[in-house]
Structure formats: structure tokens, C-alpha cells
Chain A
């Protein structure tokens, strides 16, 4: 069986609508990961041991177990306990929860990269603590966070095919359906790979540019 361009063009509309679902999972997933990650970082930074220990245990548990199994838990186990989520919602929550543990780590590293002396200098100058945080520490902490966070958005985008396992018809699943209907696997599977590359490769170049921009702005 050889490559057929006719068939490739024929399946493109459905693949592109799959790509739209992929983006619909990635964007809210990233927002959830960034905000949950911030909550985790704050809990670990400011909370007492009663809060810090359970949060740390939970975070380590999420980080050391597969996202696919976590998605199964959200999609297959929760309905037995009265929480029925749509496949896409379960997918977004799964992605967001998994990557929030990584985002929290990025926030922590970013904040710790600002030397203590910066806090001390602001204190010596009688600068109030809230503005020290927003105007002295954050502008220095955010640039090193940007490449890491954008890399996680790109990895989340690449991980969305896992959502096909819980029946979300994203790019990968769309390709699988097309392949099963036509018994032609080469074109759909190859196009999925190429579409992912077409988005993630420019995105990683953009992330490098964004980091440079943030670094220049901070100076």
C-alpha cells in the first residue's frame, strides 16, 4: 500500500477538528495547572507542617504515577462516587492536576533564585513587604520561570493523545477512527505526527524568544 495524497486531503478536515479539541484541552489544562501550581507553592511556602506534609505527599504521589492511570481514575472511578465528568472535563482536570505539581516546582525554583539580599536591601530601604514582593522579587523571579512553564505547556500539548484513551476525540483519536474506517493507517498516523510537530516545533522556538524578551524587560 502506498501513500495516497487524495486520501490525505480527504481526512484533513476531520484531523484539523481533532486538533481544535487538542487545543481546547491544552489551554484550560495549562491555566488549571498554573493556578493549582501557585496554590501548591503558596501552601508549601507559607503553610505550617500540618498543611505542608499532606500537600508534599500528594504532590509526590501525583508526580510518580502515570497520567494515563490518573485519567482512568477521574473518568472511570469518580462516577461510582457520584461525580460524573464529561470525557473532555476529566481530561482537562487530569492534565491540569498532573502538571500543577510541576508548575509548583517551577514557582518555587523561580522564587528561590532571587537572592535573599534583595529582600534585605528592600527592608533596609524601608520598602513595604507587599511591594517588595510585587516590584522587586517577582520581576526577577518570573523570567527564569518562563522557559520552564512554556515547556510544560508544550509537553501538555503533546500528552493530549492520552485523552483518546478516555474517549475524547482529539487529534489522535480522530486519526484512529479514520484509520479504522478506511483500513489505511499510514496517512492518518503520519499526519498526526506531522501536525504535532507543526505546532510544537514553532512553539518551542517561540518559547526561547519569549524568555529572551522577559530577560531584557527585567533588566
Chain B
């Protein structure tokens, strides 16, 4: 327990690194999810193929394999990435592929007549997507996105294996230097649990605010 208080600053820096990986990875994942999710539904064949190839490739192998590949194999193709870049890139691209399926599913879940109404009103394809389909699809995406964000946060521990000094990496360092095993690992498990619960709490607030239908409209008008 004494070691725990002595190392609290050390673990705090680790927490910041974990949060940085999670935030950076989530931002990239969100971008990729929308790009590939919408791309997969595109009527333009090559766009669709690129999206499908990206999704299947990144879902077919694990994040650790992708991270190692980016960190160890890419330099031989003349592209040297810093550990942090490789970490964020692998986390974002991996979870983004799962997110793309969420985006696609949510857009398809918007009732058909909404799209037909858009066509009847002479909306262009882009206008329909931006003003009719996505606003209704986003509330559907939120709960699975929350789970994916937690998955990404959990996966960020893998970045410790490519020498990023996140929580897991620092717990290992404490274990190596003090011989203590239980406290460092228990401490970081609790920190991970708190971060995950925080992410889920934020998502459920967002979910309540964006709930479609009368209730959501009332809230928006009440807020103005």
C-alpha cells in the first residue's frame, strides 16, 4: 500500500497516456467509421470495394498484430512511426472498422419511407444523407459506439507492448522495480474501470439528449 502512494504520480502520468491513446484512437475511429460505413453503402463500386476491403482486413486480424506490424514492419517500407503514432493508428483503424458496421447498420435502420420522402422532395443523395438519414441514424449508433469506445480504451493497454508508457506499462515497471504484484495491478484495474464507467456515463447522457421523437424535440425547444 505504501508503494501505491509513492507511485501515485507515476500512475497518474500513465492514466494521462491511456486517456490520450483513448481520445486519439476514438477520434480516428469515428472518422474511419463514418467514412467506411457511408462508403460501403455508396453506389460507386470502387468506393464500396475500398470500404469493404478496409473493414474486412482490420476486423480479420487483432489490434496487437496490426500495432506490431505498423511498429516493426512498416519501417522496412520506409515509414517509421513513433510508438504513439503507431498505437493511435492501430487502435483507431481497428475500432473504426467495427464502427463502420455500426454506421452502416444504423443508416439501414432508418425507415425506407424517410428516404423515399427525401426523393419525393427532390433532395440530392448527399442532402438526404446529411439532413434526413444521418440525423436519425446517429441516436441508433450511440449505444454501440459507447461499447466500442470502452473496447478501444481496454485495447489501449496493448500499446504498452510497443513501449508506450501507459497504465499497463507503468504497472509492469513498478512490478519489476519493487517486486510488488497485487497493488500495482489492482490499482490500474480500478483506474481502467473508472475510465470505462466514465465513458459509458457520457454516452448515456448523450443518448438521452439525442433521443428521437417528441421527447427530443421538446427538449431542444425547451433549451432554446
* Chain A: CB-nearest residue to B195: A64
| Binary per-residue interface labels of chain A (170-188) against chain B in the complex, 1 for a CB within 8 Å, 0 otherwise | 0010001001000001100
- Cα–Cα distance between A67 and B64 once the two chains are bound (Å): 12
- Cα–Cα distance between A69 and B157 once the two chains are bound (Å): 8
Please give, as numbers and ranges, the residues of chain A lying within 8 Å of B72 by CB-CB distance. 179, 185, 189
- Cα–Cα distance between A77 and B56 once the two chains are bound (Å): 37
Closest Cβ of chain A to B146, distance in Å, is 12
Say yes or no for B85: interface residue by CB 8 A criterion: no
Say yes or no for A132: interface residue by CB 8 A criterion: no
Pair A73/B73 contact, Cβ less than 8 Å? no
- With beta carbons under 8 angstroms apart, the residue of A1, A70, A159, A179 that contacts B62 is A159
Closest Cβ of chain A to B51, distance in Å, is 16
Pair B154/A72 contact, Cβ less than 8 Å? no
Pair A186/B73 contact, Cβ less than 8 Å? yes
- With beta carbons under 8 angstroms apart, the residue of B62, B154, B172 that contacts A66 is B154
Please give, as numbers and ranges, the residues of chain A lying within 8 Å of B75 by CB-CB distance. 185
| Binary per-residue interface labels of chain A (148-187) against chain B in the complex, 1 for a CB within 8 Å, 0 otherwise | 0000000000111110110000001000100100000110
Say yes or no for B197: interface residue by CB 8 A criterion: yes
Q: Which of B136-153 contact A (CB under 8 A)?
A: 150
Please give, as numbers and ranges, the residues of chain A lying within 8 Å of B65 by CB-CB distance. 158, 161, 172, 189, 192-193, 196
Summarize A's interface: helix, strand, loop or mixed. Answer: helix
| Binary per-residue interface labels of chain A (135-147) against chain B in the complex, 1 for a CB within 8 Å, 0 otherwise | 0000000000000
Please give, as numbers and ranges, the residues of chain A lying within 8 Å of B210 by CB-CB distance. none
* Chain A: CB-nearest residue to B18: A66
Q: Which of B35-51 contact A (CB under 8 A)?
A: none
- Cα–Cα distance between A65 and B195 once the two chains are bound (Å): 9
Interface size class of B (residues with CB under 8 A): 35 or more
Say yes or no for B193: interface residue by CB 8 A criterion: yes
Interface size class of A (residues with CB under 8 A): 35 or more
Pair A189/B69 contact, Cβ less than 8 Å? yes
Pair B160/A68 contact, Cβ less than 8 Å? yes
Given contacts A65-B154, A161-B64, A190-B69, contact A72 B193 (CB under 8 A): no
| Binary per-residue interface labels of chain B (187-216) against chain A in the complex, 1 for a CB within 8 Å, 0 otherwise | 011001100110010000000000000000
Pair A72/B197 contact, Cβ less than 8 Å? no
**Max chain B Cβ within 10 angstroms of own Cβ: one of A165, A179, A189, A197:** A189
* Chain A: CB-nearest residue to B181: A77
Pair A196/B175 contact, Cβ less than 8 Å? no
Pair A186/B76 contact, Cβ less than 8 Å? yes
Pair A197/B61 contact, Cβ less than 8 Å? yes
* Chain A: CB-nearest residue to B67: A161
Please give, as numbers and ranges, the residues of chain A lying within 8 Å of B6 by CB-CB distance. none
**Max chain A Cβ within 10 angstroms of own Cβ: one of B75, B150, B181:** B181
Say yes or no for A133: interface residue by CB 8 A criterion: no
Say yes or no for B155: interface residue by CB 8 A criterion: yes
Pair B60/A66 contact, Cβ less than 8 Å? no
* Chain B: CB-nearest residue to A68: B157
| Binary per-residue interface labels of chain A (57-79) against chain B in the complex, 1 for a CB within 8 Å, 0 otherwise | 00001001111111011001100
Pair A80/B196 contact, Cβ less than 8 Å? no
Say yes or no for B121: interface residue by CB 8 A criterion: no
Pair B56/A80 contact, Cβ less than 8 Å? no
Say yes or no for A200: interface residue by CB 8 A criterion: yes
23 pairs of residues in contact across A and B, judged by CB atoms under 8 Å = A1-B76, A61-B189, A64-B196, A65-B189, A65-B192, A66-B155, A68-B160, A68-B161, A68-B168, A69-B192, A73-B189, A77-B181, A161-B64, A172-B64, A172-B65, A186-B73, A189-B65, A189-B72, A189-B73, A196-B65, A197-B60, A200-B61, A204-B60
Measured CB to CB, the residues of B under 8 A from A are 56-57, 60-62, 64-66, 68-69, 72-73, 75-77, 150, 154-158, 160-161, 168, 171-172, 175, 181-182, 185-186, 188-189, 192-193, 196-197, 200
